[in-house]
C-alpha cells in the first residue's frame, strides 16, 4: 500500500517547482493570514496572550502556539519570525518556562531584554500587544538537563538566566533530589530578571541554593572568582551550566578548568557565536550563487550568509550562530572554513551552514 508520504510526493514536487516552497499549502498564507493568522502554514503561528514587565528593560511574552507545534525540552531555544514594516525578521530566543507549561496550558514564555540599538527587541517591547501573532520555529539546542539526578551548578549573567529559568522550574517540579546552586550575576538587585519566580523556586525547593550577586552595588565591582566557587559544597563534583555574556562565560570556564572540571561536565550557551582563531590571509574568494545566476567577490572573514545578503539575496536563517541549522545550504564545489570550530571543509558537494562558513577560495552554492 502506498504510504501517505509517497502519495504527497508529487504535490510537494509541484509545489516546489511552482511556488519554491517545501509546503505547497503555504502558497495560500497571505490569504489565510487575512482570514485568521493562526491558520498560516509557512511557520507555526503563536498568539501573544500576556506581557509581563520583569525589569526596566526586560519583558516576558506569554505565547500560545498553534497545536501543531512540537514542544521543547528545558533549556532549548526557538526561532521567531516577526514582521516589521512589511519585512520579516528572524531572531532566536531562549524559552524561559518549563515544558510543563506547554503541556498543561498550551503556552510558552519568551523573556526578552531590550537591546540598545536592537531593531527587533525594541520593536517587540514597543509594539507587541496581547492578540498579536508571530511565528515560531521548532525548538532546538543541546543545553539540556542530565538524564539522572546529580549535583548541579549554574552560573548566569543578566538575561542569560532565561534558559536556566526553564531548567530550574523543571527541576523544582520534579523535586530533583541532588543539590543545585545558582550564582546569578546582575548589575544591581533591580536588574534581577524573574525575581519573583526565582525566589518562589527557592522557597518551595529545599535542594536549591540561590545566590544573587550584584556586581555594582559594593564599593568595588564584584566579579566571579574562585571564592564564589569555593563556597559551593562539592563544587568539583558538580555538572555545570553557564549562560551569559561571553566575558563571564570565559572566566567561569577558566576557573572551572583550573579546578579540574572536565569539558564534558561544562555546558555553555552563548549570546553570540564563539569564534575560532583564523588566519585571514587565505580567506575570501569568488562566491557563485548558481540558482540566482550571480557571482560575488569577497575578502577576509565575511560569512557566506553576510555575502549573500550583501548581494541582495534572502536565504533563510535563524540564530546566525551555527546552532539552529536553518541556513543550511548545499555547497556544490569549493572549500569553506567554519568560523566557530576552525574546521576546513572538503572541496566537493556537501551541506554547510551559511552563517558560520567563510569561503577559502572560489565557492559555488545551490542558492
CATH code where residue 181 lies: 3.40.50.80
Same domain, 317 and 211: no
Number of domains in the chain: 3
| CA separation for the pair 130, 48 (Å, rounded) | 5
Same domain, 191 and 117: no
- Cell numbers that stand for 224 in this block: 566571579
pLDDT band for position 32 (50/70/90)? Answer: very low
Domain that holds residue 59: 22-30+42-91+106-136
Within a domain: residue 294? yes
pTM: 0.74
Instruction: Report which secondary-structure segment, H or E, holds 247.
Output: helix 246-258
pLDDT band for position 276 (50/70/90)? Answer: low
Mean pLDDT value across the chain: 86
Within a domain: residue 1? no
Q: Which residues touch 167 (CB under 8 Å, ≥6 apart)?
A: 74, 75, 145, 154, 241
Residue 70's pLDDT is: 92
Same domain, 255 and 156: yes
Q: Maximum distance among all alpha carbons in the chain?
A: 76
Same domain, 159 and 251: yes
Q: Which residues touch 321 (CB under 8 Å, ≥6 apart)?
A: 92, 270, 272, 273, 340, 355, 356
Same domain, 231 and 313: no
pLDDT band for position 253 (50/70/90)? Answer: very high
Q: Which residues touch 175 (CB under 8 Å, ≥6 apart)?
A: 205
Within a domain: residue 232? yes
| CA separation for the pair 361, 286 (Å, rounded) | 7
Residue position matching grid coordinates 550571480: 294
Secondary structure letter of residue 220 according to DSSP: S
Within a domain: residue 356? yes
Judged by average pLDDT, the poorest of 41-45, 69-73, 84-88, 93-97 is: 41-45
Same domain, 132 and 160: no
- Find the CATH number of the domain harbouring 288: 3.10.20.30
Residue position matching grid coordinates 561536565: 265
Same domain, 254 and 299: no
Task: Please answer whether residues 280 and 301 qualify as being in contact, where contact means their C-beta atoms are separated by less than 8 angstroms.
Answer: yes
Residue 217's pLDDT is: 87
Residue 28's pLDDT is: 46
| 176-195: pLDDT as tens digits | 999 999 999 999 999 999 99
For 330-346, b/e burial (b = at least 16 CB within 10 A) is ebeebbbbbbbeeeebe
- Find the CATH number of the domain harbouring 131: 2.40.30.10
pLDDT band for position 320 (50/70/90)? Answer: confident
Same domain, 238 and 159: yes
Amino acid at each position: 500500500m502506498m504510504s501517505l508520504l509517497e502519495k504527497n510526493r508529487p504535490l510537494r514536487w509541484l509545489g516546489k517547482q511552482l511556488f519554491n516552497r517545501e509546503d505547497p499549502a503555504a502558497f495560500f498564507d497571505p490569504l489565510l493570514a487575512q482570514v485568521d493568522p493562526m491558520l498560516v502554514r509557512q511557520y507555526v503561528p503563536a498568539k501573544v496572550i500576556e506581557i509581563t514587565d520583569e525589569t526596566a528593560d526586560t519583558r516576558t511574552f506569554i505565547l500560545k502556539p498553534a497545536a501543531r507545534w512540537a514542544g521543547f525540552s528545558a533549556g532549548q531555544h526557538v526561532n521567531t519570525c516577526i514582521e516589521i514594516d512589511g519585512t520579516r525578521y528572524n531572531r532566536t530566543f531562549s524559552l524561559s518556562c518549563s515544558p510543563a507549561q506547554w503541556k498543561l496550558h498550551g503556552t510558552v514564555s519568551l523573556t526578552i531584554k531590550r537591546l540598545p540599538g536592537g531593531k527587533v527587541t525594541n520593536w517587540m517591547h514597543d509594539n507587541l500587544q496581547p492578540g498579536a501573532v508571530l511565528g515560531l520555529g521548532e525548538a532546538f539546542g543541546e543545553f539540556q538537563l542530565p538524564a539522572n539526578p546529580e549535583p548541579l551548578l549554574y552560573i548566569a549573567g543578566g538575561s542569560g538566566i532565561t534558559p536556566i529559568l526553564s531548567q530550574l522550574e523543571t527541576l523544582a517540579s520534579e523535586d530533583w533530589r541532588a543539590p543545585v546552586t545558582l550564582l546569578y550575576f546582575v548589575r544591581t538587585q533591580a536588574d534581577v530578571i524573574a525575581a519573583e519566580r526565582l525566589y518562589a523556586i527557592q522557597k518551595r525547593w529545599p535542594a536549591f541554593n540561590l545566590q544573587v550577586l550584584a556586581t555594582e552595588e559594593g564599593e568595588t565591582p564584584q566579579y566571579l572568582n574562585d571564592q564564589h566557587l569555593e563556597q559551593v559544597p562539592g563544587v568539583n563534583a558538580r555538572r555545570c551550566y553557564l549562560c551569559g555574556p561571553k566575558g563571564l562565560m570565559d572566566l567561569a570556564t577558566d576557573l572551572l578548568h583550573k579546578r579540574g572540571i572536565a569539558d564534558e561536565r561544562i555546558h555553555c550557551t552563548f549570546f553570540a557565536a564563539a569564534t575560532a582563531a583564523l588566519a585571514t590571509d587565505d580567506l575570501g574568494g569568488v562566491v557563485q550563487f548558481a540558482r540566482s545566476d550571480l557571482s560575488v567577490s569577497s575578502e577576509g572573514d565575511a560569512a557566506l550568509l553576510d555575502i549573500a545578503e550583501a548581494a541582495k539575496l534572502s536565504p533563510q536563517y535563524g540564530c546566525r550562530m551555527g546552532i539552529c541549522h536553518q541556513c543550511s545550504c548545499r555547497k556544490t564545489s569549493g572549500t569553506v572554513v567554519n568560523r566557530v570550530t576552525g574546521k576546513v571543509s572538503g572541496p566537493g558537494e556537501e551541506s554547510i551552514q551559511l552563517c558560520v562558513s567563510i569561503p577559502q577560495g572560489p565557492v559555488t552554492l545551490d542558492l
